Amino acid sequence: MIIIWAVAIFVVCGSFLMLVAALGVVRFPDVYTRMHAASKSVSLGLVCMLIALAILFNTPMIILKSIAGIIFVFLTIPVASHMIGRAAYLRKVPLYEKTSVDQMAGLYKKNERESNE
């Protein structure tokens, strides 16, 4: 009975985090904030779902695959988000008009796609 409750809690938490990610992608004003919503909430939601899967089935192979999936998610989603943000910045996708600080300003040459370093 405790296992079922634990699985239910992880599934509900994962579903909620993925719902928050979907709402963030729809509601946020620019690609940079949308990227943040999609990467953070989806990765945590997916981790919750994989933990629920490992608890429910409780076999060594499922647990190993869930751990591998969690590691894969935490290694690939941040890199993909960074590359999407960098590509958007280099393509001069505009920031939200209420953005007060451009931390990337000065890191890239104006007419080239390579960094100043």
Q: What is the span of the domain harbouring residue 10?
A: 2-90
| 46 domain residue, yes or no | yes
- Please tell me what DSSP assigns to residue 95: P
| 105 domain residue, yes or no | no
Q: Where are the alpha helices (DSSP H) in the chain?
A: 2-27, 31-57, 60-90
CB atoms within 10 A of CB 95: 18
| 106 domain residue, yes or no | no
| 116 domain residue, yes or no | no
pTM equals 0.82
In order along its 117 residues, the chain shows pLDDT tens digits of 899 999 999 999 999 999 999 999 999 999 999 998 889 999 999 999 999 999 999 999 999 999 999 999 999 999 999 999 999 998 989 989 888 888 888 887 655 555 555
| 112 domain residue, yes or no | no
Torsion sign (Cα): 82, 84, 85, 91: positive
Nearest CA to 62 out of 7, 15, 101 is that of 7
Residue with tokens 């239910």: 8
| 81 domain residue, yes or no | yes
Nearest CA to 62 out of 74, 53, 70 is that of 53
Burial class (CB in 10 A: 0-12, 13-18, 19+), 56: middle
| 23 domain residue, yes or no | yes
Residues 6+ apart with CB under 8 A from 38: 21, 24, 25, 81
| 99 domain residue, yes or no | no
Domain count, the chain: 1
